[in-house]
Structure 1
C-alpha cells in the first residue's frame, strides 16, 4: 500500500472514530434520560400499588363489614350472581339450610323451593332464548323485583314458610350484576294464623250446628253487623244483610213485628238481657221460627252504646213440639186402635178407637196383660212365630183375631213395634190395629169383580187365564188333552142397535145360562167382553168329543130366546184350538181359537172351525199389511184410477168411478178387496177416504179447468167413514178447498150399510144431498133393502151389483133380478147403472132393458189420471161434452 493510500485509510478511521464518539455521547445522554424516565415510572407504579393495596384493604374491610351485617340479621340473606346462582349467603341461611356456605355458593335457590311452587314458577315463565338455571331468578328479573310467600326446605327436608323479597343489583354504569334476596321465616306466624283460622272455623261450625248466630248493633251509627250464621238463618247473602235495625225489623213476620220492637225498646232501658221467640217471613211466604237474645252496653252516663245479641233457628224445635201435639191428637183421634204396653205386656194406655173396636173402656184393660184379648183362633205356633219375629226384627205385622168385650171375635190387621232405650233395654210394645171386617167383605166383593163378569156372573178373562194355565199344567203332567172354544154371537150387534142395550144385556145373561147348562162341571165358560165367550174343555183326548160339545153349543144357541117380549134368533160361530198341537200357553190357545172363529164366520156363520197353521200366517200377513198401509200414503204408494161410465142411450161418457189402487214397493199390486177391509177394521179408511175424496175432487176440477167437461166423478164412501168421522163437514170442506161444484160429485154408499141403520142413515144422506152432491146405492141387490125405506132415501142412482150382471143373459135368475132392479129404479125415478159389463151380449141385453148407464171392461178398463185425461181429450174432440 502507498503512503497516499495509507494516509487516506487513516483519515477514514479518524472520521469513524469521531462518529463513534459522537454516537456514544448521544447514547449516554439517551440512557441518562431513559433512566430518569424509568425511575419516575417505578416511583409511579409504587404509588399506584400502595393505593391499590389501600383500596383492597378498604374493600375487604367493607366486605367483612357487609358479611357481619348480613350475619347479624335473623332473616336469610342470599346474594345471586348475574346468572342467578348463589354467590354469597349469611350465617342464618347456612344454618337454616344445614350446609356450609362454600357448599351452597354456585347453586340455585330453587333447589330448596317446595316442588309445587317451583313448578308454578316454571309454568308462568315464557320460553327464553337462553338456558334457565333458576326460574325464581328469571321471575324476579322480569318483574325487576319480587315479593312472595314460599316454602324452603331445611337440612332435614322439612319445609318452612318464608316471606321473600328480592331486588336486582346494578353496577354504577347500570349493568345487571345479580340480585339480593331477603327471606324471613314466618312459620310461627303461619301456625298462629292457622290456629286462629281453625278456631274461627270451629266457632262457625259450632254456630252452624247449633244454628246460632250473633249480631252487633252500633246505636250511635245505627249500623248492624251480622255473623255468617245469622245470614244463613235469614237466608240472605252478606251483601243483602240488613244494614240497620229497621231493615232487620222488615224481615220479621208482620204479625210479630210489634212484639219484637217493643221487647227491644224495653231492653234499651234495662241492663238485663231479653229473649223472645218470633217468626221470619222468607221468600215464597215460608215461615221460620227464631229465638232472639239481646243485651245492651251503656257508657258511664248510662246512655246505650251497643246492643249485642244472638239468633237461633228453632224451627225444628217448634216443629217437634207441633208434632208432639199432633201425635197426641192423632193418638186420641186415630181411626186405628192403639195399645201401649210395658216390657211385661201390661197395658198402660189405649185410645178411643181401641174401645170402639174391642168394646173395652180404658179402666177395664189398664194394668191387665195383653193376653186378655186372645180369641183362641190362633194356636201356640202362631204366637211363637210372632214373638220370635218381634225379638229379631223389632216389629211384626199381620192378621190376628182378637176377642171383643161381648165375646165375639173380630179380624184385625195389627202392627206391633218394640220401643227400646238408648242402652237397648226393652221399654214398651206399641200395637196399632184396625178392623178388617168391612175389608174382608169388600175383598170378597172385589175378588168377585176382579175374577167374574158383572153382567153374566161368568169367569172373566183374568180368571179364565189362571184356570187355563192351571189346566195346562195338569194336562202336561197327566198327558191329557185340552181344548179352547172361542164363541162370538152372530147378529148380536143388530139386537143392541135395534132393541137397545138393556135387551142386549138380558140376552147375554140368557146365553151365559144356556152355555152353563150345555157343559160339564169340569169345564169353564167365561165371558171376555161384548158378545165373546170362551169355553175351556178339560180332559178331551179325541176330536170327536170336542166336535160333539161344539155341536151341542151350536144347537143350544140356535134355539130362539124370549127376552123382554121379543123372540130373538142369534146363533154363534165357534173357533177351536187344542193342546198340545195348537199352543202350550193360554194366550196362544185363545189367539188361535179366535183366528179359527173368524174362519167360521167367513164360512157362513153358525158353524165351528178348528185352528189351522195357515190362519196364523194369514193373520200375520194382515198385521203386516196394516202396518204398511199406515205408511202407504206418505210413501206415495196409493194412487187413483178411473173407471169410465157411459150412457146406454147415446154411448156418451157420463162420468167415472174412482178406484183406489195400492202399488207396494216390494209386494207390487195389492188388490183392493185385500187392503180395504183391513183399512176399515183398523180405522185407516177414515184418513184414506178423506185423501181419496180430496184427490178425486182436485183432479176433476183440474180437468174442468182444461175444458175436459167430465159430468161427474163417483167416490165410494165406507160405512166406517160415516160412523167415525164427520162426513158432512169433510165433504163440505173438500168441495170448498178444491172449488169443485157439488153437482159434479157423486157419493156411493153400499146397500148393506144403509139398511143396517136405516133410520139414522136417512138423516145423514139428506144432509149430504142438501150440499148438492148426488147419492148412489152401490152393490144394490146384495143387501136386504126395505122398499119402505128405499123410497124415503134421498138417492138418485142404483148400481146393480156385478154378481147379477156377470151371468146374464144365460142365468134366468140373474136376468129376473136385473129386470126387477131396473123396474124398481125406473118406478122410483132413479138412474140405474149396471156394473161389471164385460161382453157384447151383456151390453145388448142391458140396452134392450133400457138400462141408463153401464161400466165395465167391455166399455173400457180403469185408467190412471194421465190415460183418462187422454180419453177425455178424445171425447172432447168428438164433441161428447158440447
Structure 2
C-alpha cells in the first residue's frame, strides 16, 4: 500500500550511512574495551596476588608484634617494680600488673588517668608549682618535669588502694620514635617503703642512742693511730663545751684540754695501754670552756692488725661531774654529821640507838659504844611527867615531828636543858624506819636570857632603852595617866651637825659621841623618866607627872644646855647641840604613836627655826605634814600631766662676757596651785625616789632643747644638768645618760653633768669610778656647791671633773664677809692649781663681779647677769651671744 507520505531516499541513505559509522565505532570501542578489560584483569590478578602476599606479611608482622607485646607484658609483669608507660601528653598508656594492683586493686588502670593522681598531695602541689607558666596544656606536671630533664630520678610517695602512702624510687626516661619525635616516657617505680622504714628505725635508734648518751652524759670517740686523727660524737662536744670546729683533732690537742695536774696520769694510762695491748679506764678532770673544771670518766679499747700493730682506739667519755659532786656531798654530809655543833641521835623503828655523833658524846658524856643498841630512855631525867612524853609521841605519830625544850640527864648525873627536834623517817610505803633527834645545849642560852632580853629592849651602843621598850613604857604610862589624870610629855631630840662628825671623823668617833650624849641626857633627867635611842642621832624622852608646861620647858632647856657644851672625842673638841620637839598628853595625842609623831613634827619645826631650840607641837604642823604628803602624791602624777618645764640660767665667761651655756632648772606649774618652789618639792622627790624619773625627764628635755638650738645654728659650749645622788644610787645612770644622748642626738661634749660635793664624798671610791665611766661617755663633769662638803684633797685630785662651782653661800656676802672672801679666794686658787675651770654661782652685785674678776674667776652665773629664762627667751639671748661688756669690767 503506498505510503501516505513520500519517501526521500537520499535522506534514508544518509541515515543508514550514519548508522553504519556509529556501529563500526561501537565495534572498535568494544574491541578496545575488551582489550583493556583483558589488561585490567591481568593487572587486577597481579595486584590481588601482591595484596595476598602483603596480607600474609602483615599477618606475620602482627603476630610478631603480638608475640613481642605479650613478651614485653610478661617481662613487665615479672619485674618487682611498677612499670608505667606514658603517652606524649602524660596520660598513662600502659602499666604492668603490679602497678595496677598497687594503685587500683585491679588488673588495669582507667583511661585518661595520669600518675600524678596517686602522688602525695604535698608532692603533687610542688610539681604543679614547677609546671606553672608552660605554653601548652599540662595534664601531668610529673611528665613535664621528666620531659624538661630528659632523664629523671627521685623519691615519691604514691597512694595505695588501702589509702596509705608508700615510698617509691622513680627512674624515668623519655621515649622517641626512629624519626626522633617524642612519644612519651617510661617510668620504673621501685617500692622502697621497707628501706625507708628501716632508715626511720635506724634514725630513731640513733636518736634514742644520742638521747641515752645525753642523759648519761656519755659520748664516744675514735682515734686513727695511723694518722693521729680524732673523731668525736656530738655529746663529746657538749661535754667539752666546744663547737665541732674547735674540738681537738689529735692526741696532743686533747691533752691540752686535760686539767694540768692530771695530764701526766692520762698520758701514762694511754701509753701503758698501747704497750701492753690492753685498755685503759681512768677518771680525770677537764678544762672546759670559760675555765670551768669538769670530771670525766674515760674508757678505751685498742684494735690491732694481724701483725699486732695498734690501728685505732675506740672509747667513751662520760661527764661524771654531778656524780663527783654527789660523792663530795655525801662526804660533806658525813663530815657535817660528825662535826655538827648539834648533838645528833638516830634510832631504828623500835627506838634502839643505831648512831650518834661526836657532839652527842661531848654533851651527854656517853661514848658511841655505850649507847648503841640502847633506848633513849637511858637519858631520862625524871624532870617531865608521863603526860609530857605521851604528848611528844602523839605529835610524832600525827605530824612526823616534834620540837621543844626537854631536860635530860648526862652520864655524870647532871641535868641539862636541851632544845630538841625529833623527826620520823618513813620508807616509800609510809612505814617508819628511823627517828632522828637533833638537839643543842640550852644551858648557855638560859644563862644568856637576861642578856638577850637586854639586846631586845636596849640599844647596844648607848645602853638606853630602844624603840620597842620605849613604846611599851609609854603605853603603861598612858594607862596610868588616863587612870590618875596625870599629864605626861614626849620629847623628840635630833642632834645638830652630827652627820658632819661621822663624815669627817668616821663612825667610831660618832659612836663615842653618841654614848657621851646618851649619858648627858640621862644625867639631866629624873630617875623615873625614860630616855631611849630610836636610831641614828635621834633620841626620845618620856616625862611622867610633868606638872605644868613650864616644867617641860625647863627640862628641854636643861637638855639643850647640857648638849651645847663641847664634847672631847678622840682629842677633838666637838660642839653639836640639839633640836627638840615636844608633844603633851592629852592635848597633843592620846596614844603612843600620835605623841611620837607630833613630837617629831615639832622637832622639824625647831630645826627650821635655826636649830638649838625646842618647839611645842601645834596643830598646823600636822597640816604641813599633810601638805608634804599631798605634794608627794601630786609629784607622782606631775610627769604624766606634763606639769614640769625647764628654765635656763645663763652662764658667761667672766673675762669677755661670752654666753657659754646654761644650767637647766626644773620648774613645776601645778594644775591647781600654780608654780611650786623647787625647794619645796625637790627634797620630797629625792626622799621618795621620784627624783629618778623626774631627773631622767629633765636630762632628756634639756638635751633635746640643746640639740634643737644646735640644729638652728646657735653656738654655745654646753648645757648643765644637775644629777641627784638618789638618781645615781637608785638607777643605772650610765645607761640613762647614754640612752638620752643617743635618743636626742646631742653630741656629748655639749652636756655637762653637775654632781654635789657632798654626794661625791659620801662613797668616794665608788663615786670616782662612776664619774670616770660617765666621763668616758664624752660628757663633762662639774662639782656643784663646792665648799659646802668635806672634800679630801687626795680624792679631789683624782676626780675626773672639769669644773668647780663655788656655792652661792660663799658669794652672797661678798664683800661684807671677809671669811667668805677668803674661802672664795682659796677655792679659786685650788681649782686653778688643779687645772680646773671655776664658776661662781649666785653673783648678784657689781662688787661681787669685780671681786671675782680680780681673782680671775673663769665663769659666772647669777641675777646680776640674767635671771633664769624660758627656752624662747634663752634662744633670743643666744642670738645676741653676749651682754654689755661693762658688766664684766
Quickly name the TM-score band, shorter chain normalised.
Answer: 0.5 to 0.7
Query: Post-superposition shift, 1:435?
Result: 4.2
1:82 corresponds in structure 2 to: 88
SS in 2 for 1:172: coil
SS in 1 for 2:276: helix
Contact kept, 8 Å, 1:518 with 1:553, in 2: the verdict is: no
Structure 2 residue aligned with 1:71, among 77, 97, 106? 77
Are residue 33 (structure 1) and residue 41 (structure 2) matched?
no
Summarize the alignment of residues 599-748 of structure 1 with structure 2, pairs less than 5 Å apart. 599=605, 605-612=613-620, 614-616=623-625, 618-619=627-628, 635-637=645-647, 639=649, 666=669, 722-724=787-789, 747-748=811-812
SS in 2 for 1:303: coil
Report the structure number with the largest CA radius of gyration: 1
Contact kept, 8 Å, 1:492 with 1:504, in 2: the verdict is: no
Query: Post-superposition shift, 1:260?
Result: 1.0
Q: Deviations over 1:684-710 (max 9, x none)?
A: 9xx99xx9xxxxxx99xxxxxxxxxxx
Structure 2 residue aligned with 1:352, among 335, 351, 358? 358
Summarize the alignment of residues 804-843 of structure 1 with structure 2, pairs less than 5 Å apart. none
Q: Deviations over 1:68-89 (max 9, x none)?
A: 2212222222222333332222
Contact kept, 8 Å, 2:153 with 2:169, in 1: the verdict is: yes
Q: Distance in 2 between matches of 1:797 and 1:862?
A: 18
Q: Distance in 1 between matches of 2:803 and 2:433?
A: 87
Shift of the 139–617 alpha-carbon distance from structure 1 to 2, 3 Å rule, reads same
1:802 corresponds in structure 2 to: none
2:516 corresponds in structure 1 to: 506
Structure 2 residue aligned with 1:177, among 180, 183, 196? 183
Q: Distance in 1 between matches of 2:365 and 2:591?
A: 56
Contact kept, 8 Å, 2:239 with 2:319, in 1: the verdict is: no
Q: Distance in 2 between matches of 1:7 and 1:581?
A: 183
Q: Distance in 2 between matches of 1:385 and 1:467?
A: 38
Q: Distance in 2 between matches of 1:506 and 1:344?
A: 63
Are residue 292 (structure 1) and residue 286 (structure 2) matched?
no
Q: Deviations over 1:276-297 (max 9, x none)?
A: 4342543336353425354665
Q: Deviations over 1:258-284 (max 9, x none)?
A: 53145314423xxxx555434254333
Summarize the alignment of residues 422-501 of structure 1 with structure 2, pairs less than 5 Å apart. 426-435=432-441, 452-461=458-467, 487-488=492-493
Shift of the 18–441 alpha-carbon distance from structure 1 to 2, 3 Å rule, reads farther
1:749 corresponds in structure 2 to: 813
2:17 corresponds in structure 1 to: 14
Contact kept, 8 Å, 2:266 with 2:282, in 1: the verdict is: no
Unaligned runs of 5+ in 1: 539-544, 643-659, 692-697, 700-716, 779-795, 799-829, 831-860
SS in 2 for 1:101: coil
Shift of the 392–235 alpha-carbon distance from structure 1 to 2, 3 Å rule, reads farther
2:346 corresponds in structure 1 to: 340
Shift of the 721–447 alpha-carbon distance from structure 1 to 2, 3 Å rule, reads farther
Contact kept, 8 Å, 2:588 with 2:617, in 1: the verdict is: no
1:263 corresponds in structure 2 to: 272
Query: Post-superposition shift, 1:428?
Result: 3.1
Q: CA RMSD in A?
A: 6.7
Are residue 62 (structure 1) and residue 68 (structure 2) matched?
yes
Q: Deviations over 1:211-251 (max 9, x none)?
A: 66666667677777767777776677777777676666666
SS in 2 for 1:554: helix
SS in 1 for 2:178: coil
Structure 1 length normalisation: TM-score? 0.61
SS in 1 for 2:113: coil
Shift of the 672–145 alpha-carbon distance from structure 1 to 2, 3 Å rule, reads closer
Q: Deviations over 1:474-526 (max 9, x none)?
A: 99xx9x9999956346978799899996667534444356667676xxxx865
Are residue 165 (structure 1) and residue 174 (structure 2) matched?
no
2:736 corresponds in structure 1 to: none
2:377 corresponds in structure 1 to: 371
Q: Deviations over 1:168-224 (max 9, x none)?
A: 222223333322222233344445555555666666666666666666667677777
Point out the more displaced range, 325-334 or 762-771.
762-771
Q: Deviations over 1:134-154 (max 9, x none)?
A: 443333333323323344444
Shift of the 535–292 alpha-carbon distance from structure 1 to 2, 3 Å rule, reads same
1:784 corresponds in structure 2 to: none
Are residue 767 (structure 1) and residue 826 (structure 2) matched?
yes
Q: Distance in 2 between matches of 1:241 and 1:667?
A: 67
Shift of the 282–664 alpha-carbon distance from structure 1 to 2, 3 Å rule, reads closer
Summarize the alignment of residues 780-799 of structure 1 with structure 2, pairs less than 5 Å apart. none
Summarize the alignment of residues 133-148 of structure 1 with structure 2, pairs less than 5 Å apart. 133-148=139-154
Contact kept, 8 Å, 1:276 with 1:293, in 2: the verdict is: yes
Unaligned runs of 5+ in 2: 568-574, 653-662, 703-714, 717-756, 759-783, 833-839, 852-865
Shift of the 52–232 alpha-carbon distance from structure 1 to 2, 3 Å rule, reads same
Point out the more displaced range, 164-173 or 206-215.
206-215
Contact kept, 8 Å, 1:166 with 1:179, in 2: the verdict is: yes
Structure 2 residue aligned with 1:282, among 287, 290, 293? 287
SS in 2 for 1:666: strand
Query: Post-superposition shift, 1:16?
Result: 7.1
Query: Post-superposition shift, 1:771?
Result: 8.7
Query: Post-superposition shift, 1:423?
Result: 6.7
Query: Post-superposition shift, 1:254?
Result: 1.8
Q: Distance in 1 between matches of 2:477 and 2:132?
A: 86
Contact kept, 8 Å, 1:575 with 1:599, in 2: the verdict is: no
Q: Distance in 2 between matches of 1:243 and 1:661?
A: 64
Q: Distance in 2 between matches of 1:406 and 1:622?
A: 71
Q: Distance in 1 between matches of 2:257 and 2:616?
A: 84
Summarize the alignment of residues 499-648 of structure 1 with structure 2, pairs less than 5 Å apart. 505-512=515-522, 526-529=532-535, 532-534=538-540, 552-559=551-558, 573-574=580-581, 576=583, 586=593, 594-599=600-605, 605-612=613-620, 614-616=623-625, 618-619=627-628, 635-637=645-647, 639=649
Matched pairs, number: 720
Structure 2 length normalisation: TM-score? 0.61
Point out the more displaced range, 348-357 or 48-57.
48-57
SS in 2 for 1:559: helix
Query: Post-superposition shift, 1:552?
Result: 4.0
Q: Distance in 2 between matches of 1:204 and 1:676?
A: 70
SS in 2 for 1:166: strand
SS in 1 for 2:263: coil
Q: Distance in 2 between matches of 1:280 and 1:114?
A: 54
Contact kept, 8 Å, 1:496 with 1:504, in 2: the verdict is: no
Query: Post-superposition shift, 1:555?
Result: 2.8
Query: Post-superposition shift, 1:352?
Result: 2.0
Contact kept, 8 Å, 1:625 with 1:675, in 2: the verdict is: no
Point out the more displaced range, 117-126 or 377-386.
377-386
Q: Distance in 1 between matches of 2:20 and 2:246?
A: 121
Shift of the 329–618 alpha-carbon distance from structure 1 to 2, 3 Å rule, reads closer
Query: Post-superposition shift, 1:354?
Result: 1.9
Shift of the 358–566 alpha-carbon distance from structure 1 to 2, 3 Å rule, reads same
Query: Post-superposition shift, 1:369?
Result: 1.3
Shift of the 74–195 alpha-carbon distance from structure 1 to 2, 3 Å rule, reads same
Query: Post-superposition shift, 1:470?
Result: 12
Shift of the 640–248 alpha-carbon distance from structure 1 to 2, 3 Å rule, reads closer
Query: Post-superposition shift, 1:334?
Result: 3.4
Contact kept, 8 Å, 2:493 with 2:603, in 1: the verdict is: yes
Query: Post-superposition shift, 1:556?
Result: 1.9
Query: Post-superposition shift, 1:536?
Result: 7.9
